[in-house]
């Protein structure tokens, strides 16, 4: 009974995603991004600089940076896409009367929520993994750079998306409309900026500024997961080449993720999900 | 008793349990819908204040009352969509807090929207899946046919007119073989033909023993299909009862010529008589089996009375409702 409800709602959520124009717009954007990057990377190979042709090492460094940059773009697209899909769901559907007809069926609200969440997770992480993989292949084919741990990186990107859409769902159970999507994306951007600020603080040896990044990474795990993903995509030599003191650079990450941080991200997701379930079950339809 | 061995105890206990089970089986089935002392506040405004009502199996009950009386709020509390501040709900013999209670319930909300990106057929399929029923595609299509949407089965709901959405809502309420159907203003957006269709649908549900709770502002509609009526006013039950109880006795008005003393006596024998020129009003007995009026007319004709017109009259539900609501507003409450 419950499993069927969950699967039915998950399927409905995916179908909604597939039939919304916004989603196709996002996909088109992705294809454009992939094509542009393929063109750019192919130009990169034979690039003449003032100092002569780039060495293969330099090319790998640049490719590594650019790959992270593009991955950031992809994760941003995924974040915006899922946040805007998740944003108007719970409260918006309650207000428009869409939820009324569903919730009058013999379904538990937590099952409906789980179904929605699973559908969004499948959509968001499916998108990041596929688009990310395509990008890795593009880079591999054009400059011959292959990231050290592509699977880990893609999984972390997916996890980042899951964190964000869970947050967007919580917001959507409290406030309606697009506002929750906008707030979720805003928080996502804010933690990223806080992470960069913290990195600069670290590079300058200022502990106060560095803690900004640390705290924000605990409060909303998107940036921490993103840094883990970058670490898995970048050339290990890149950091050495950039040299110490460049830790503040936003598209390179110094360390891989600790298991404790991953566990925290999982706990964070479970907690926010539980809060959402609580608030959704108490809402009047 | 407690001194007997375990096996000896099991015997009589077993018998007792079985007897109790039999007793429970023989009980009349629980009402389709029952609630007691429902209360709901929105902020400082009390929307529903101690409403108790019940809908028997196969019974059609009308829920009437002015705008803002709390009808929709009561319905939503009955279906677990709104949390009551106090009160109990039982749906088809199960507590309303148990989602399984709604497995055989069809609901047409007052204000609603379906997923606009689904087609009409997909909406029905979704609801059948969620209700856990196993309804073949042919039967689902039959439901769309019933509400006149068969030709639009493959069209997206987002492009439906308001009335078409309401028709689809009716199909959704009916599709999962319900034992209880709750209709919250099912005809508010419908054309006259659609209204007649809804009336027929409710009557056919009644015929099949499906219980119906019908909230409508079209009193004539309610009067025609409902066995019983509950009138809500400002969050409380202002009146309830069968139509006969609420409407009281019926009368017949006759326009007669050349009424002699014998005719007059015959009229008086039929029931309490009032006269206004050539118009005579005769009160009919409550237990009228339908023969009183034809017999009276036949006898009058035999007595040489000229019968110009015979009009059965009944204080209409509308008049009665207005009376109840006016009396209610006169009792000093704000
Ligand atoms: N979500 C809500 N928030 C605040 N007040 C509400 C809410 N829903 C209903 N009310 C209030 O509860 C009261 C009853 O509303 P309800 O919708 O039950 O009336 P109704 O009898 O169905 O009226 P109508 O005939 O107009 O449909 C009204 O005073 C209304 O303002
Ligand atoms: Mg209403």
Tokens at residue A257, please?
A: 């993720």
- On whether both B163 and B301 belong to a single domain, the answer is no
Closest protein CA for atom 11 of ligand 1: B47
| Residue contact B112–A100, C-beta within 8 A | yes
| Residue contact A101–B76, C-beta within 8 A | no
- Give the C-alpha separation, B73 to A276, whole Å: 24
3-state secondary structure of B307: strand
- Give the C-alpha separation, B267 to B278, whole Å: 13
Residue A229, pLDDT score: 84
Neighbours of B193 (CB within 10 A): 9
Q: Which residues of A96-135 are buried (b: 16+ CB within 10 A; e: fewer)?
A: bebbbbbbbbbbbbbbbbbbbbbbbbebbbebbbebbebb
Q: Are strands B86-91 and B306-314 parallel, antiparallel or unpaired?
A: unpaired
Residue B248, pLDDT score: 66
Higher pLDDT, A179 or B173: B173
Over residues B215-236, mean pLDDT? 88
> Counting beta carbons within 10 angstroms of the beta carbon of residue A239, is it exposed (0 to 12), middle (13 to 18) or buried (19 or more)?
buried
Measure the CA angle with vertex A19, ends A15 and A20; round to 5°: 120
- On whether both B256 and B285 belong to a single domain, the answer is yes
Structural domain contains residue B1: no
Over residues B134-146, mean pLDDT? 91
Residue A182, pLDDT score: 79
Q: Show which of B245, B268, B299 is a domain's final residue.
A: B245
3-state secondary structure of A218: helix
- Give the C-alpha separation, B213 to B206, whole Å: 11
3-state secondary structure of B212: strand
DSSP state of B281: E
Structural domain contains residue B205: yes
Helices then strands (H, E): number in chain B?
A: 11, 14
Residue B6, pLDDT score: 47
Going residue by residue through chain A (285 aa), what tens digit of pLDDT does each one get?
688 899 999 999 888 888 877 778 888 888 888 888 888 877 766 655 544 556 666 767 777 777 777 788 878 887 777 777 787 777 778 777 888 888 999 999 999 999 999 999 998 888 889 888 988 888 888 877 788 888 888 898 899 889 988 988 888 887 766 677 778 788 888 888 888 888 787 777 777 777 877 788 888 888 888 888 888 887 777 666 665 544 556 666 666 778 888 899 999 999 999 999 998 888 887
Measure the CA angle with vertex B301, ends B295 and B307; round to 5°: 100
Q: Which ligand is nearest to the CA of B82?
A: 1
Structural domain contains residue B121: yes
Of A143-152, B114-123, B167-176, minimum mean pLDDT range: A143-152
The residues with which B39 forms a beta bridge, in sequence order, are: B49, B86
Cβ–Cβ under 8 Å, residues B7 and B20 = no
- Give the C-alpha separation, B176 to B130, whole Å: 9
The residues with which B215 forms a beta bridge, in sequence order, are: B63, B184
Over residues B108-120, mean pLDDT? 89
Over residues B240-244, mean pLDDT? 82
| Residue contact B109–A104, C-beta within 8 A | yes
Domain total in chain B: 2
Residue B8, pLDDT score: 46
Residue A202, pLDDT score: 76
Tokens at residue A91, please?
A: 């409260």
Task: Summarize pLDDT for B51-99 with one digit per residue, the tens.
Answer: 999 999 999 999 998 898 999 999 999 999 999 999 999 999 899 889 9
Helix (H) or strand (E) holding B215: strand B211-215
Number of the ligand 1 atom closest to the C-alpha atom of B82 = 1
- Give the C-alpha separation, B101 to B98, whole Å: 6
Q: Show which of B195, B227, B245 is a domain's final residue.
A: B245
Count of positions (residues) in chain B: 334
Structural domain contains residue B169: yes
Structural domain contains residue B326: no
Q: How many CA atoms lie within 13 A of A94 on its CB side?
A: 21
Structural domain contains residue B8: no
- On whether both B263 and B276 belong to a single domain, the answer is yes
Residue A248, pLDDT score: 53
In chain A the beta strands, taken as DSSP E runs, fall at 48-49, 52-53
Among partner residues B114, B117, B129, which is closest to A101 by beta-carbon distance?
Answer: B114
Write down the mean pLDDT value for chain B: 86
Q: A94, A104, A284: best mutation site toward chain B, by most B Cβ within 10 Å?
A: A104
Q: Which residues of B274-284 are buried (b: 16+ CB within 10 A; e: fewer)?
A: eeeeeebbbeb
Tokens at residue B315, please?
A: 């204080």
Distance (angstroms) between ligand 1 centre and the Cα of B78 equals 15
- On whether both B189 and B120 belong to a single domain, the answer is yes
> Distance from CA of residue B176 to its chain's centroid?
20
Q: How many CA atoms lie within 13 A of B226 on its CB side?
A: 31
Residue B177 sits in a domain whose CATH number is 3.40.50.300
Structural domain contains residue B179: yes
Q: Show which of B192, B216, B245 is a domain's final residue.
A: B245
Task: Summarize pLDDT for B265-282 with one digit per residue, the tens.
Answer: 988 888 888 888 889 988
- On whether both B224 and B130 belong to a single domain, the answer is yes
- On whether both B258 and B125 belong to a single domain, the answer is no
Among partner residues A4, A97, A285, which is closest to B129 by beta-carbon distance?
Answer: A4
Longest dimension (CA), chain B: 92
Number of the ligand 1 atom closest to the C-alpha atom of B75 = 18
Supply φ then ψ for residue B43, to 5 degrees: 60, -125
Higher pLDDT, B319 or A149: A149
Cβ–Cβ under 8 Å, residues B177 and B133 = yes
Radius of gyration of chain A (CA): 20
Task: Summarize pLDDT for B302-314 with one digit per residue, the tens.
Answer: 988 899 998 877 6
Whether B72 has its CB under 8 Å from any CB of chain A: the answer is: no
Whether A58 has its CB under 8 Å from any CB of chain B: the answer is: no
Residue A254, pLDDT score: 65
Show the domain range for B163: 33-245
Identify all chain A residues contacting B81, using CB atoms and an 8 Å cutoff. 100, 103-104, 284-285
Cβ–Cβ under 8 Å, residues A74 and A33 = yes
- On whether both B207 and B294 belong to a single domain, the answer is no
- On whether both B253 and B241 belong to a single domain, the answer is no
Please report how the helices B192-207 and B162-175 are oriented relative to each other, as an axis angle in degrees rounded to 10: 10
Contacts 24+ apart (CB under 8 A), B189-194: B189/B162, B189/B163, B189/B165, B190/B163, B190/B166, B191/B163, B194/B148, B194/B163, B194/B166, B194/B167
- Give the C-alpha separation, A242 to A235, whole Å: 11
Task: Give me the DSSP letters along B3-60.
Answer: TS-HHHHHHHHHHHHHHHHHHHHHSPPPPSEEEEEEEEEETTEEEEEEEEEEE-TT-E
Residue A56, pLDDT score: 64
- On whether both B37 and B91 belong to a single domain, the answer is yes
Supply φ then ψ for residue A160, to 5 degrees: -60, -45
Residue B293 sits in a domain whose CATH number is 3.30.70
Whether A104 has its CB under 8 Å from any CB of chain B: the answer is: yes
- On whether both B96 and B133 belong to a single domain, the answer is yes
| Residue contact A106–B102, C-beta within 8 A | yes
- On whether both B164 and B262 belong to a single domain, the answer is no
Structural domain contains residue B9: no
DSSP state of A221: T
User: Ligand 1, from B62, B69, B213: best to mutate by most atoms within 8 Å of Cβ?
Assistant: B69
Q: Is the ipTM of this complex over 0.85?
A: no
- The model's pTM: 0.81
Distance from CA of A261 to the nearest CA of B (A): 38
> Distance from CA of residue B209 to its chain's centroid?
13
Task: Summarize pLDDT for B202-214 with one digit per residue, the tens.
Answer: 999 999 999 999 9
Strand order in the sheet with B33-42: B45-55, B33-42, B86-91, B94-95
Supply φ then ψ for residue B306, to 5 degrees: -90, 120
- Give the C-alpha separation, B64 to A120, whole Å: 42
- On whether both B297 and B165 belong to a single domain, the answer is no
- Give the C-alpha separation, A66 to A217, whole Å: 23
3-state secondary structure of A20: coil
Cβ–Cβ under 8 Å, residues A75 and A251 = no
Percent of chain B having pLDDT more than 70? 93
Number of the ligand 1 atom closest to the C-alpha atom of B110 = 27
């Amino acid at each position: 009974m419950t499993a069927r409800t969950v699967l039915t709602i998950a399927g409905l959520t995916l179908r909604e995603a597939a039939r919304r124009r916004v989603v196709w717009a996002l996909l088109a954007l992705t294809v454009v991004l992939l094509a542009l990057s393929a063109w750019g990377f192919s130009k990169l190979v034979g690039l003449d600089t003032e100092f002569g042709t780039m060495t293969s090492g330099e090319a790998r460094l640049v490719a590594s940076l650019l790959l992270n940059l593009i991955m950031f773009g992809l994760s941003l697209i995924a974040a915006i896409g899922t946040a805007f899909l998740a944003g108007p769901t719970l409260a918006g559907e309650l207000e428009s009367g869409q939820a009324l007809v569903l919730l009058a069926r013999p379904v538990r609200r937590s099952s409906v929520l789980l179904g929605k969440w699973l559908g969004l997770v499948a959509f968001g992480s499916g998108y990041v993994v596929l688009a990310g993989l395509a990008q890795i292949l593009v880079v591999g084919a054009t400059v011959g750079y292959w990231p050290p741990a592509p699977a880990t990186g893609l999984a972390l990107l997916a996890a980042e998306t899951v964190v964000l859409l869970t947050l967007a769902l919580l917001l959507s159970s409290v406030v309606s409309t697009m506002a929750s999507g906008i707030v979720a994306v805003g928080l996502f951007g804010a933690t990223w900026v806080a992470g960069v600020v913290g990195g600069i603080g670290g590079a300058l040896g200022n502990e106060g500024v560095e803690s900004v990044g640390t705290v924000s990474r605990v409060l909303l795990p998107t940036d921490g997961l993103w840094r883990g993903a970058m670490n898995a995509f970048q050339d290990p030599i890149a950091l050495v080449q950039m040299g110490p003191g460049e830790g503040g650079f936003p598209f390179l990450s110094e360390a891989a993720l600790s298991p404790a941080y991953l566990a925290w991200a999982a706990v964070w997701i479970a907690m926010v999900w539980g809060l959402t379930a609580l608030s959704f079950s108490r809402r009047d339809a | 008793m407690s001194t007997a061995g375990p096996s000896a105890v099991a015997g009589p206990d077993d018998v007792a349990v079985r007897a109790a089970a039999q007793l429970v089986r023989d009980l009349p089935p629980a009402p389709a819908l029952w609630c007691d002392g429902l209360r709901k506040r929105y902020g400082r405004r009390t929307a529903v204040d101690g409403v108790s009502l019940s809908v028997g199996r196969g019974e059609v009950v009308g829920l009437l009352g002015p705008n803002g009386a709390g009808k929709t709020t009561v319905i939503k509390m009955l279906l677990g969509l709104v949390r009551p501040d106090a009160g109990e709900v039982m749906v088809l013999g199960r507590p309303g807090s148990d989602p399984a209670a709604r497995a055989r319930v069809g609901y047409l909300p007052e204000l609603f929207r379906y997923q606009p990106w689904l087609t009409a057929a997909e909406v029905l399929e979704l609801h059948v899946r969620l209700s856990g029923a196993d309804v073949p595609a042919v039967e689902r299509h039959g439901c769309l046919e019933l509400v006149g949407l068969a030709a639009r089965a493959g069209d997206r709901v987002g492009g439906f007119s308001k009335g078409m959405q309401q028709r689809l809502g009716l199909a959704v309420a009916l599709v999962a073989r319900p034992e209880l159907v709750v209709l919250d203003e099912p005809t508010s957006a419908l054309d006259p033909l659609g209204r007649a269709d809804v009336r027929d649908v409710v009557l056919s549900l009644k015929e099949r023993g499906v219980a119906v709770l019908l909230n409508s502002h079209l009193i004539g509609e309610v009067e025609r299909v409902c066995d019983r009526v509950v009138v809500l006013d400002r969050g409380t039950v202002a009146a309830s009862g069968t139509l006969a109880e609420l409407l009281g006795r019926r009368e017949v008005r006759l326009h007669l010529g050349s009424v002699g003393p014998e005719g007059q006596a015959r009229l008086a024998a039929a029931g309490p008589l009032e006269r206004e020129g050539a118009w005579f009003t005769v009160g009919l007995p409550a237990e009228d089996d339908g023969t009183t009026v034809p017999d009276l007319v036949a006898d009058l004709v035999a007595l040489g009375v000229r019968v110009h017109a015979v009009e059965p009259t009944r204080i209409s539900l509308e008049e009665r409702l207005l009376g109840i609501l006016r009396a209610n507003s006169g009792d000093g409450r704000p």
